[in-house]
Structure 1
Amino acid sequence: MIDSLFIVIILLIVLAAGFSAYKTRAIEQAYPNIGELTDIGGYRLNAVHLPRPATADLPALVFIHGASGNLRDQFEAFAAPLSGRAEMLFVDRPGHGYSERGPAENAVPSGQADAVAKLMDKRGIKSAIIVGHSFGGAIAAAFGMRHPEKTKGLLFLAPATHPWPGGIDWYYTLAALPVLGWLFTQILVIPLGLRRVESGTLSIFRPNERPADYIMKTAPELVLRPQTFRNNAIDVVNLFAYVSAHAPRYSEIKAPTVIITGDSDDIVLEELHSRGLARDIPGAELVTIRNLGHKPDYVTTDVAIAAMERLAGQPRDLQVLAAQAEIRISDLGSEVSTRQPSSQAMTTS
């Protein structure tokens, strides 16, 4: 009886692992690499590099995506509206998208910041405005501290940069474990995760509307591939200790800094992270937008681009632009409320 049960368990594990392998290939076929892999010293980072156009009026821009993401997220938000204005580098962080993981130090933001700096050297980018969204904010802060000569400015979008109360979601903790984590990511992440892509992407935009084509354009399913999910989980698990140790050093950052955040962000609390950055980085400007969630890169793209212009030395009143964005968000919210009954309102995850 025990032998039969053991055989059934092994068979189920093999079938589940086979399904995950099949879906991994299907996900990669649906969302092929749009970037180029570059060796930066024993491993390769993937990125989309748009060379400096003749019409450029901004310095180079380097975009760093958040947890569970890939370079397509920032590429879809900014490549078109900034076309012809700057050299741009959209990076798959180490172990995400189509980038290789690299050495052990890439499991923390400082290592990933160094990886981005090496990629900039390979691409001939001497300095840039570094744009970090969410988890990418911790990497942007590390970049500003470790590579000041390469930092023209820092733009933080809904950043995760400071210690927070409470823990993290259970599946990150489980996926990061040495043996059980491997089994979990190989067997269960894809079948469970595919069912949550829709609700998960809606939640990161809440209370704002998610673009209807967001999933198709940004390929969030790439993070469900077993090794990528495990890398993502290790990043998230390591973040608390890292920011606890390094947040007190943010005063070392000397680059011009703008922080854009929403007061309705349920993913990364603005009162801890964004206000903390504004307090800790000398001269940083905090732009808080009412009724904005976790995606200022999509919902208030114009304000983010104005912040890049401001960091480049162009005169921009970001507070006025933020107030205009609040009116626009309010108007959009009113339109949504007239289209759907209140009983269909989404709940937080």
Structure 2
Amino acid sequence: MIPKKLASSLLIVALALPGCGLVLENRIERREAAAEAAYPSEGRFVEVAGRRVHYVQEGRGPDLVLIHGASGSTRDFTAGFMERLTDRYRVTAFDRPGLGYSDNVSEAYEGPFNTRSASPAEQAAMLHRAAGMIGIENPIVMGHSYGGAVAMAWGLRHDPAALVIVSGATQPWPGDLGLLYNVTGSSLGGAALVPLLTAFAPEAQVERTIASIFEPQEPPPGYEAHIGAALSLRRASFRTNARQVTGLRPHVTAMSRDYPALRLPVEIVHGTADTIVPIDVHSRPLARQIPGARLTELPGIGHMPHHVSAGAVVAAIDRAARQAGLR
């Protein structure tokens, strides 16, 4: 959420200001407290092996689980998308482990110097257990972006009724993730740079980043005010997100070998103008790998079709429900 030039500058500052710890800590704590006051948890909690999982549940009907992407939370779905579905599904949006208001999978993935992260399979297992504890049965599981990898792990290991993958990061990709992720996902960056980003990230840059995620479309009215980007800038959430993203490629590399064995309804929705998770790298290969999978390509649509082309995503969910015999 921060440009390369600013990230580099803040890393230099981090190394140059070891004596300002107390002042910096106070500023960080104020900003984190302000974020949580402005964007409190929207739903309820369930405890899985001593770790809290936050979820929002609305509606009645067959179960539909929603899994958000990187730097996200349930608020991405409560910003107008869930309400399109609650008339005919019991919709449950989860905060992924370590993000929003959900605890990380375990303490082993916490701490400023740690570089390990929970795999999509570990995240799916935690959310699957949470789902069972709140009475969710035979769900359709929809994942967006990074959440698409978690949804695929759920499909490979926990036998859902169907999968809906929206702009999903499901395949290994060429190249690297750029300076910000490489630094903040490292031991030094997690300890030194992330606190500075939490303390000093400018609101204008956050707004520009949200806009860039929607390109070439624009965020819907009220999205920025609702999404609570400041929650993702809290130190623990920032580190978790960076580590999950930088650690994802080997997991999807391994998972992709098992995709051809899937035997359940799979709907895939992806915009052709998505430059964050390109359709050529991810969804087109995925559709070829899974027998019977259906790919809906959205010409000119970017990374957020569940907001800018929501009808197409809702239609994919309804098709998956019919294929699974739920409607």
Which TM-score band applies after superposition, normalised by the shorter structure?
0.7 to 0.9
**2:4 equivalent in structure 1:** none
Q: Contact between 2:265 and 2:323, CA under 8 Å: does it hold in 1? A: no
Q: Secondary structure at 1:33's aligned position in 2? A: coil
**1:80 equivalent in structure 2:** 83
Q: Secondary structure at 1:312's aligned position in 2? A: helix
Q: In the alignment, which of 301, 306, 310 is matched to residue 315 of structure 2? A: 306
Residue 126, structure 1, aligned to residue 137, structure 2: yes
1:211-267, Cα deviation, whole Å (9 max, x unpaired): 131111111221100010000001001101111222111112211001100110011
Distance 1:270 1:91, change over 3 A: same
1:12-71, Cα deviation, whole Å (9 max, x unpaired): 343223211111111111101112111011211000122x53xx3xx2100000000001
Q: Secondary structure at 1:164's aligned position in 2? A: coil
**1:26 equivalent in structure 2:** 34
**2:71 equivalent in structure 1:** 68
**2:231 equivalent in structure 1:** 222
Q: Secondary structure at 2:84's aligned position in 1? A: coil
TM-score by length of 1: 0.82
Residues in 2 aligned to 1:188 and 1:199: alpha-carbon distance in whole angstroms: 15
**2:11 equivalent in structure 1:** none
Residue 112, structure 1, aligned to residue 120, structure 2: no
> Could you list the runs of 5+ residues in structure 1 that have no partner in the other structure?
1-7, 316-349
Residue 195 of structure 1: how far off its partner (Å): 4.0
Return 259-268 or 165-174, whichever deviates more. 165-174
Residues in 2 aligned to 1:175 and 1:158: alpha-carbon distance in whole angstroms: 24
**1:325 equivalent in structure 2:** none
Residues in 2 aligned to 1:233 and 1:79: alpha-carbon distance in whole angstroms: 27
**2:244 equivalent in structure 1:** 235
Residue 282 of structure 1: how far off its partner (Å): 1.0
- Sequence identity percentage: 35
Residue 9, structure 1, aligned to residue 20, structure 2: no
Q: Secondary structure at 1:37's aligned position in 2? A: strand
Residues in 2 aligned to 1:40 and 1:140: alpha-carbon distance in whole angstroms: 19
Q: In the alignment, which of 284, 289, 293 is matched to residue 280 of structure 1? A: 289
Residue 260, structure 1, aligned to residue 269, structure 2: yes
Q: Contact between 1:256 and 1:284, CA under 8 Å: does it hold in 2? A: yes
Following superposition of structure 1 onto structure 2, how do residues 168-179 of structure 1 map, counting pairs within 5 Å? 168-179=177-188
Residues in 2 aligned to 1:154 and 1:77: alpha-carbon distance in whole angstroms: 21
> Could you list the runs of 5+ residues in structure 2 that have no partner in the other structure?
1-15, 110-116
1:280-302, Cα deviation, whole Å (9 max, x unpaired): 11110011011100011001111
Q: Contact between 1:16 and 1:188, CA under 8 Å: does it hold in 2? A: no
Q: Contact between 2:105 and 2:118, CA under 8 Å: does it hold in 1? A: no
**1:347 equivalent in structure 2:** none
Q: In the alignment, which of 196, 205, 208 is matched to residue 205 of structure 2? A: 196
Distance 1:272 1:45, change over 3 A: same
TM-score by length of 2: 0.88
Which structure's CA Rg is the greater one? 1
Q: Secondary structure at 2:141's aligned position in 1? A: strand
Q: Secondary structure at 1:174's aligned position in 2? A: helix
Residues in 2 aligned to 1:76 and 1:205: alpha-carbon distance in whole angstroms: 14
Following superposition of structure 1 onto structure 2, how do residues 37-48 of structure 1 map, counting pairs within 5 Å? 37-48=45-56
Q: Matched residue pairs, number?
A: 301
Q: Contact between 2:125 and 2:154, CA under 8 Å: does it hold in 1? A: yes
Q: Which amino acid aligns with 2:210?
A: T
Residues in 2 aligned to 1:180 and 1:213: alpha-carbon distance in whole angstroms: 33
Q: Secondary structure at 1:209's aligned position in 2? A: coil
**2:7 equivalent in structure 1:** none
Residue 189 of structure 1: how far off its partner (Å): 3.6
Residues in 2 aligned to 1:288 and 1:298: alpha-carbon distance in whole angstroms: 15
RMSD in angstroms over aligned alpha carbons?
A: 1.8
Return 61-70 or 106-115, whichever deviates more. 106-115
Residue 314 of structure 1: how far off its partner (Å): 7.0
**1:139 equivalent in structure 2:** 150
**2:259 equivalent in structure 1:** 250
Q: Contact between 1:262 and 1:294, CA under 8 Å: does it hold in 2? A: yes
Runs (4 or more) in structure 1 with deviation over 6 Å come to none
Residues in 2 aligned to 1:215 and 1:224: alpha-carbon distance in whole angstroms: 14
